[in-house]
A and B are shown apart, each in its own frame.
Chain A
């Protein structure tokens, strides 16, 4: 599992509330990613990070922000959750060395916005 832990794994929240998802990795990977998975859309990149305090937007970044103050933690925040953000969120890291192109995914965080 490449040492990736996502929390919470499941959350139900109300529209308009802030939500933060946490991704924790234990193997000092430089690159970290947040994807969302929705039926008919596959996996779409929200934000990514290439180092501490270095982040950039993906293809579906509107309504999301991220922070990476430590190598091991990458946080995804929904400032004011909307029903369209109901989804499964996956954190991922990029392998190093010989597996430098391989993206490893966490187990996912199921978010429902009611």
Chain B
């Protein structure tokens, strides 16, 4: 059972455009929602994370939008650059105890000139 559903599977965006990746979760106990960025041959690295007490979090060109009632969250990359080309994973977990991250299936983002 896929507890975190991610879409699209792949995405091509022109340089300077906005990249949008969406995720939906099922477990209402989740209260920590990170996004990870992974370059080829490397391990995933934390990009940005949000908790459900806010609807939006912005760090530079990266923004997470969170809709608690719809159980959805999304990553927006503004002014997308070729260096943003990577695979992006959303994830979710509970905050307390040894709570494990549940990942989405990933989105391969390609930024074209």
Partner-B contacts on A (CB < 8 A): 31, 33, 35, 40-45, 48, 50, 58, 90, 92, 101-108
B25 close to chain A: CB less than 8 A: no
Decide if B66 is an interface residue (CB 8 Å cutoff).
no
Q: Shortest beta-carbon distance, B59 to chain A, in Å?
A: 14
Report how far A101 CA is from B94 CA in the complex, Å.
9
CB distance from B64 to the nearest CB of A (A): 14
- A-B pairs with beta carbons under 8 A, tally: 51
B contacts, CB < 8 Å to A: 6, 9, 32, 34, 36, 41-46, 49, 89, 93, 95, 98, 100-106
Given pairs A50-B98, A102-B46, A104-B45, 17 additional interface contacts (CB within 8 A): A35-B103, A42-B6, A42-B103, A42-B106, A43-B101, A43-B103, A48-B100, A90-B43, A101-B32, A101-B93, A102-B49, A103-B46, A105-B36, A105-B43, A107-B41, A108-B41, A108-B42
Residue of B nearest to A40 (CB): B105
Of A33, A42, A48, A58, chain B has the most CB atoms within 10 Å of the CB of A42
Contacts of B89 in A (CB 8 A): 42-43
Residue of B nearest to A45 (CB): B100
Q: From DSSP, what is the main secondary structure of chain A's interface residues?
A: strand
> Are B95 and A101 in contact, CB atoms less than 8 angstroms apart?
yes
Compute how far the CA of A101 lies from the CA of B32 in the bound complex, rounded to whole angstroms.
8
The interface residues of chain A lying within 8 Å CB-to-CB of B6 are 42
- Best-surrounded residue of A41, A101, A105 (most CB of chain B within 10 A): A101
Residues of A within 8 A of B9 (CB): 40
Alpha-carbon gap, A48 to B34, bound state (A): 19
Residues of B within 8 A of A41 (CB): 105
- How far, in angstroms, from A26 to B88 measured CA to CA in the complex? 27
Residues in B whose Cβ lies below 8 Å from that of A43:
44, 89, 101, 103
B103 touches A44 (CB 8 A): yes
Give the one of B36, B98, B102, B104 with max A CB within 10 A.
B98
